[in-house]
Amino acid sequence: MIFRKFIAATILGVTVSGCASIETATRGATMDTVASLNQMAPVPETQAEAAQELPSYDVTDIRVSVPKSLKVSEANRFYPGGDIVWREDAPGDRHAQVQAIVENALRQGVERMERGAVPVLLDVEVTRFHALSEKTRYSVGGVHAIQFNIVLRNPETGVAYGPPHFVKADFRGFGGQTAIAAEARGITQKYRITERLAHVIQAELSGEGGYQATNLGFIGALNQL
């Protein structure tokens, strides 16, 4: 909730001097013309009140970056080191593969949402994409550690509406016979990661509390390092 309130206060803060009138929000509107996110509601008198009115977003575009500084591990160990561990695609540019997975997942999540009032550009930088090695996948299972920073920007100017917001989208990965049975039904690691990230972005953009990471115990703590 803190992140969304901060963004709400930032958006509405730029219109404090022009709050006497309220304009209808449209897809092409800029933040400078959005005096209120609900044109039937009274204009907030203070920044504190403004922060309570959480904005609804119209995501005009999504940009996902996977820095080359993230280390890729191809080691087939229970817990391979590195920032990127991904095996379901053929060997190749893992950074590009991760970028495609994350971008596709976020777009699916956004497309499932109702279009909101405030147009934004979604800027995402992946900081960790640690799926399961073959050894872990077909034995004990583990944690899919998917983490990134998100920034909402004005789509016309590129100006950020606040500092980067860290999102930890980790969740448990199937192992052993459970993983094999899931794959037989088409429920692959990529499928589950895509569905999880679609859910996460919906929670971040529409839920007052944002996405709440699951406590995954010791393995989850390892993925914080």
- The CATH number for 57-222, chosen from 1.10.10, 3.40.1360, 2.60.40, 3.40.50, is 3.40.50
Instruction: Inform me whether the pLDDT recorded for 170 exceeds 90.
Output: yes
Provide the pLDDT for residue 138: 94
Tens-place pLDDT, residues 41-61: 344 445 444 445 667 899 999
- Give me the helix-helix angle, 189-206 and 94-111, nearest 10°: 50
Tens-place pLDDT, residues 62-99: 999 999 999 999 999 998 999 999 999 999 999 999 99
What is the pTM for the complete model shown? 0.75
Domain ranges across the chain: 57-222
Asked if 27 contacts 58 with a C-beta cutoff of 8 angstroms, the reply is yes
Residue 168, helix vs strand vs coil: strand
Look at the alpha carbons of 199, 100, 72, 178 in this order and tell me if their dihedral is positive or negative.
positive
